[in-house]
Amino acid sequence: MSVPQSSLLTGTAGEELAASLKGRDFLALADYTPQELRYLIDLAIELKRRQKSGETYHPLKGKTLGMIFEKASTRTRVSFEVGMYQLGGHALFLSGNDLQIGRGEPVSDTAQVLSRYLDGIMIRTFAHRTVIELARSATVPVINGLTDSEHPCQVMADYQTALEHKGRLEGLKVAYIGDGNNMAHSLLMGAAKLGMHMSVATPDGYEPDAGIVAQTRKVAADTGSIIHVCRDPREAIEQADIVYTDVWASMGFEAEQAERERAFAAYQVNEELVKSAKPDYLFMHCLPAHRGEEVSEGVIDGKHSIVFDEAENRLHAQKAILAALL
């Protein structure tokens, strides 16, 4: 289904939204209005169209992004690095072990030094407070490439992909089955901001953070979204437009793998479970996936799966964030 032409990218409204984003940090979806998030998604679709048509667009010519990686990544590193190149800029890979921050230099000192060299900083790390501290001390935009609490760039790509396939976001139901982790947190806030409904099913003890759920429900009250957290995956997936899952043991929790396999045994997204979703449901996963654990091969490799469209859109969604902020 084709995406309706956006009116947010042109005219006075588009100019005002563009101005509101310039120079901002991108740490969590809660920091952005529904209109700003939709503008970024629409911009991502437009930048994707330009690339596919062979147009050259270099708004970031001469600009440099520093990419700090304290957690390894495939999609985050490649998409940000390629994205900066396609926008006319340059990206630097900065391993946490190669920086003085890995030897005890305060985050605030690193932020101030890097701000003298760079036009923007992307960081993929563990504690969310590290990103907040970095942004507080930096004088250039800071982008959250992932923390243990949030994964906002991934969700921008996720909902861009949903829009491309469904033609709308408002009123769609997302069912998330599995660990109430950073993905669940950002998906919840994104859904509430964009007028989508979302149900989350997790085992006891693995629920999403109660404070984030409460914050999401407060947003949902203004947008008309319905947010539901439960134990039963069949209850959550009932009549879902989008079915989403993630690995049971995220990076940093590998030592809990065996324990989590037992806890999540009834939460695999498989052919039997998805019978409760809508007939035209879409399956999404942020990747990497463990086939046979959180999802069956038949689902992730089946006709409803759009995981590789989703992965591709990391490039386009992040280009939109880079172009808007830098």
* Active site (catalytic) residues: 124, 151, 154, 246, 286, 314
Q: Is the dihedral of CA 211, 28, 229, 227 positive or negative?
A: positive
Residue 67 assigned as binding residue: no
- Residue 109 counted as an annotated binding residue: no
**Is 196 part of any known ligand binding site?**
no
- CB atoms near residue 266 (< 10 Å): 13
276 is in an annotated binding site: no
Closest CA to 147 of 129, 132, 128: 128
Q: Consult the annotation and say whether 250 binds a ligand.
A: yes
Q: Does the annotation list 124 as a binding residue?
A: yes
Q: Please report, as a single letter, which amino acid is at residue 30.
A: A
Distance (Å, whole) CA 178 – CA 176: 7
Residue 100 in marked binding region = yes
Q: At what angle do helices 307-325 and 11-21 cross, to 10 degrees?
A: 80
Token couple for 292 = 């046979």
182 assigned binding-site residue: yes
- The residue among 79, 55, 276 whose CA lies nearest residue 160 is 79
Q: Is 153 annotated as a binding residue?
A: yes
76 is known to lie in a ligand binding site: yes
Residue 256 DSSP code: G
Largest Cα separation within the chain, whole Å, is: 55
151 labelled binding-site residue: yes
CA 312/CA 298 separation, integer angstroms: 21
- The response to whether 74 counts as a known ligand-binding position is yes
With vertex at residue 41, the alpha carbon angle to CA 326 and CA 71, rounded to the nearest 5 degrees, is: 65
Buried b (16+ CB within 10 A) or exposed e, 170-206: eebbbbbbbbbbbbbbbbbbbbbbbbbbbbbbbbeeb
- 130 assigned to a ligand binding site: no
Q: Is 188 annotated as a binding residue?
A: no
In angstroms, rounded to a whole number, what is the distance separating the alpha carbons of residues 15 and 25? 19
Preceding omega of 288 cis (within 30 degrees of 0): yes
Q: Nearest-CA neighbor of 39 among 79, 11, 80?
A: 11
Annotation: binding site: 73-76, 100, 124, 151-154, 182, 246, 250-251, 286-287, 314
Annotated binding-site ranges for L-ornithine: 182, 246, 250-251
Q: Which residues are annotated as a binding site for carbamoyl phosphate?
A: 73-76, 100, 124, 151-154, 286-287, 314
